[in-house]
Amino acid sequence: MRKKNFLRGMILPVLLFAASSVSAQFKPIALDTIYIHPWIENRPDGHEPANLMGGHIHDHGVWMLSFRFSTMNMNGNLNGVHDISNDGIFQMYMNAPQSMRMQMYMLGVMYGVNNNITLMTMFNFMHHRMSAISKNGEIFETTVSGFGDIIPSVVLKVAEWPGHKLLVNTGMRIPLGKIDYTAMMMSGNKQQMPYIMQCGSGTFDAFAKWTYVVQKVHFSYGSQLYGLFRTGSNKQGYRLGNTYSLTSWGAYKINNALSFSTRLEGVSKGFIKGRDKDLNIMMSPSSNYINSGGLFAYVLPGLNILIQKGKLKRNRFDIECSLPLYQKPNGIQMKQQSILYFTWQWQQ
């Protein structure tokens, strides 16, 4: 039995690959129906976990609407992998950030142009709040709310075998988010807010996501490779670092309405190139371009719910929670605590 499984495991991928690359005519249909079933989108794990995008595609003429909310908390500061105290920060800077909350609301529209091409556009609005303490002990809070960059993209089905899909999601980020938010300081002066408080990148950015997903009868798994490439320099005189990430997940289908997922993610963010001409780098670690980018790893438990009947039929509710496993920011940056993601999706 074991030997048979082994042979099946070895021969099937070779056969499928050979068959799909030669001609559809030679596709081993009999094998497909016995060992693997065709892709089913209408199951809770038929879409990627809550905070991933570009991991599914729609059929011709299908519209999808989505609303996403995320909230990220940061507390305290790290200098590389080590904690740094306020006194440590005051040796170089006038203020030390204490806590920060970043909330984002995203509206998304998807449309299947045909079975292999889906168009997608995301709009977002964000709210940032940061509290900091000054060298002489004054605690103050600053907030910024505004629209973020608009993200049009296309999802292409590059390859498909029964139960397997390879998708590419590529697009750009159009810099509509403002990058010159200021705050009134206690001194009565208006001051430029640090990079992390701004709502956009200020540059045209291109991205690509490669997603490979596999679906079995009771579970599914997948991986996504992401690259975000910044171009040029914004009107403040800098550009944010490129970002790369690799994530893999597995999801277990409890029943037709509910699935649980676990995901691992590694992220690499580059340094800011150039510097904001209106920022005083001594103001705070977050005002210094040196303190940007780094290496991060997260574990993300998640839950996907797909309503199968009644008035809410075809509505999806997904939750994911991002917990940091490893943080190695470049220089001094705030320490990430947790990120919660909620996603609602409705599709025709």
Give yes or no for a contact between 151 and 176, defined as CB atoms under 8 angstroms apart.
no
Q: Select the residue whose beta carbon is closest to Cu ion and give its number.
A: 64
User: How near is the Cβ of 53 to Cu ion at its closest, in Å?
Assistant: 9
* 64 counts as binding Cu ion under rule CB under 5 A: yes
Reference 339, options 284, 267, 271; nearest CA is: 267
Question: How many binding residues for Cu ion (CB under 5 A)?
Answer: 2
Stretch that binds Cu ion, among 18-26, 58-66, 163-171, 176-184 (CB under 5 A): 58-66
Stretch that binds Cu ion, among 22-30, 110-118, 221-229, 280-288 (CB under 5 A): 110-118
Nearer to Cu ion, 90 or 344 (CB): 344
Which 4-43 residues touch Cu ion, going by CB under 5 A? none
Give yes or no for a contact between 145 and 105, defined as CB atoms under 8 angstroms apart.
no
CA–CA dist 111, 154 (Å, integer): 10
CA–CA dist 263, 324 (Å, integer): 12
* 303 counts as binding Cu ion under rule CB under 5 A: no
Nearer to Cu ion, 265 or 318 (CB): 318
What ranges in the chain are assigned the alpha helix state H? 2-22, 29-35, 86-90
Nearer to Cu ion, 121 or 327 (CB): 121
Length of the chain: 348
Residue with tokens 């800011």: 272
CA–CA dist 145, 26 (Å, integer): 57
User: How near is the Cβ of 208 to Cu ion at its closest, in Å?
Assistant: 18
Reference 177, options 246, 126, 231; nearest CA is: 126
Nearer to Cu ion, 103 or 121 (CB): 121
The residue type of 297 is A
User: How near is the Cβ of 58 to Cu ion at its closest, in Å?
Assistant: 6
Q: What is the DSSP letter of 174?
A: B
Q: Binding Cu ion by CB under 5 A: which of 110, 122, 132, 167? A: 110
User: How near is the Cβ of 110 to Cu ion at its closest, in Å?
Assistant: 4
* 251 counts as binding Cu ion under rule CB under 5 A: no
Residues that bind Cu ion (CB under 5 A): 64, 110
